[in-house]
Structure 1
Amino acid sequence: MQNNITIKTHKNGLKYLDIKTPQCKAMIFLQGAQITSFIPNDRPDLLWVSEENTYQPGTSIRGGIPICWPWFGPHQDSKKPQHGYARNQLWELNSISYDADTLCITMYLPNTKELLNQDLNLEIVFKLSTELQIELINRNNSDETIQVTQALHSYFPVSDIKKVKVNGLKGAEYFEFGKGPTSDHEDCVQINNETDRSYQKVDEQQAILDESREIIISRINSKSVVLWNPWIEKSKSLSNFSSIDYKKMICLEAANILDDKILLEPNQTHKLILMIKEK
């Protein structure tokens, strides 16, 4: 198979890259620079998306890997969007190259200075082979320090959330949404209720252990991760999400949040790297 990259338009208007290489298949939407599918050869998809998505311009896509930037969660100004601007903006395609069995796609977020009133650039690099690597690059072009919190909000498919385990979090302190700090002492974390945890000072690698597969998630320049599943009640109020979708997904997000926030000095660059593969 030759490399085949086509810009297509969803029936509801969103443009996306339809990617086929000898190593994988993938789909990346220009809105949000959001990858929604990554299928290594002879393997199931490593990413999950809800069948409830409408793919309407300006509406967030539920699943894949949304980009939360330049803040994670709600802003102190309630008029500003949850998780920032990056996931609902149209990104520009910068370059496509192929080297040693790896396809490299670079995109950037235009008009950041107008959005933020700060001279902060954001670029993303997708490296696709039999594994997926994503680089999220912040550049401070101003003469002042800029604070950024961010996350690659990765949704992963599971066969049954009640049977899934996550390892690599033992001993790490976390903050459960609405509660105080605590830490995990078990070798593996299991989900049996609504879970919204922000872990700090975490090992650089975790694994999602499902009945028939193991997904390995590694990070560079990220010491915080978010573990999320909305469970039963919250699922009923989420957009683009069915009441039973919680059974089939788990979010394990590479982040720079809380004590791991980024303080970019003038002319400084920060590169968050996320790597995903099936063992």
Structure 2
Amino acid sequence: MISHLTLQNKQILTNTVSLQVDAQGHEFLIIAHENFNAAFALHGAHLLHFQLKGQPPLIWLSKTANYDEKKAIRGGVPICWPWFGAADKSLGNDLPAHGFARTSKWSLKNINELTHGLEIELLLKDSLQTRKIWPYPFELTLKATLTDTLKLELISKNSGKKAYLYGAALHTYFNISAPESCLLKGLAEQYQDKLDAGHLRKGEASLQIQGPIDSIYTKASAAIALIDNGFKRQINISNSGNDSDVVWTPWVEGAKAFTDMPDDGYKQMLCVESTITRPEGQIVAPNQVHILSTVIGQS
């Protein structure tokens, strides 16, 4: 499972899912299916681990990640919501980067056992605390369908009487064998280079990982392939409900700057994210929903 986490059983929920806690009382959903293993933290509805039997983990998690619920967990799939990056200044100052969903305590909504896997739904609703920094009623659901593929759907429901705009990301950290062994195909032709003041650049047909990357591919691609020659596999990524895809790796200096990532952590991870990054965001009318999703498989 996740060797650097020491957990104890708190409650058996289904034949394959148990609620477990660490020494500090942080809660985790641990899935032990005959075809795969997976884990979620209720802190942030954060997918920490997904691994098909007989395969390397699909998702990377930092061995020095912090679980104290004051910040996001490094690795896995953090949920950025209801904004991506810095909050709009109209909302106020000193607001958390990438929103509050990834540092909030979510609740378990539903578990549905399937023939070849399971569905898990986690729920976050507005509260007095959230309305202090984002003044909208909402219901946010993460629906995870786990089979021989991984499907994550972030379902934003407007439970208020006024439309709202939001930005978001399913900030997926992929587990890789080594950067030099990896190649990305299927990205859009243009991207904003955040390492160069957001200038618009023309991309190549394929992207070799050779240094730090922080790029927003502004025309979302329907299918992206992460080819990992070291692990002898291809990860197939299909995003929807997004307006962009983000590719990110902190590389050497970036990893050293993080206290919750080993200095060599950049050698085992690469982020390819399903994102809503345009300044105007995604509108959700009253009593309506919008779904941001990613479907991940390997071959």
Report the TM-score, using the length of structure 2 for normalisation.
0.87
1:21 pairs with 2:33: yes
Distance 2:199 2:170 in 1: 24
**C-alpha deviations, 1:113-144, integer Å up to 9, x for none?**
64022112211111111111111000112222
Q: Which runs of 5+ in 2 are unaligned?
A: 1-13
Q: What residue identity is the alignment partner of 2:212?
A: E
Give the C-alpha shift of residue 260 in structure 1: 7.9
Runs of 4 or more above 6 Å deviation: none
Distance 2:257 2:209 in 1: 20
State which of 15, 23, 27 in structure 2 corresponds to 1:3: 15
The aligned residue for residue 199 of structure 2 is: 180
1:198 pairs with 2:216: yes
1:54 pairs with 2:62: no
Q: Which runs of 5+ in 1 are unaligned?
A: none
Residues 58-207 of structure 1: matches in 2 within 5 Å? 58-75=70-87, 76=89, 77-112=92-127, 114-115=129-130, 116-171=134-189, 173-177=190-194, 178-184=197-203, 186-207=204-225
Q: Percent identity?
A: 30
- What's the RMSD between the two structures over aligned residues? 1.7
The aligned residue for residue 267 of structure 1 is: 287
Give the C-alpha shift of residue 57 in structure 1: 2.9
Residues 245-256 of structure 1: matches in 2 within 5 Å? 245-256=265-276
Given that residues 158 and 286 in structure 2 are in contact (C-alpha distance below 8 angstroms), is that contact kept between their aligned partners in structure 1?
A: yes
Distance 1:89 1:266 in 2: 23
**C-alpha deviations, 1:29-79, integer Å up to 9, x for none?**
000000110011222210001111232232321101000000011223441
Q: Cα–Cα, structure 1 residues 65 and 276, in superposed 2: closer, same or farther, change >3 Å?
A: same
Report the TM-score, using the length of structure 1 for normalisation.
0.93
Given that residues 83 and 98 in structure 2 are in contact (C-alpha distance below 8 angstroms), is that contact kept between their aligned partners in structure 1?
A: yes
Residues 36-55 of structure 1: matches in 2 within 5 Å? 36-55=48-67
Give the C-alpha shift of residue 183 in structure 1: 2.1
Distance 2:253 2:69 in 1: 28
1:278 pairs with 2:293: no
Distance 2:247 2:148 in 1: 25
State which of 193, 206, 209 in structure 1 corresponds to 2:227: 209
Given that residues 170 and 293 in structure 2 are in contact (C-alpha distance below 8 angstroms), is that contact kept between their aligned partners in structure 1?
A: no
Give the C-alpha shift of residue 274 in structure 1: 1.1
Distance 1:18 1:225 in 2: 29
Tell me the SS of whatever aligns to 2:68.
coil
Give the C-alpha shift of residue 110 in structure 1: 3.0
Q: Cα–Cα, structure 1 residues 247 and 92, in superposed 2: closer, same or farther, change >3 Å?
A: same
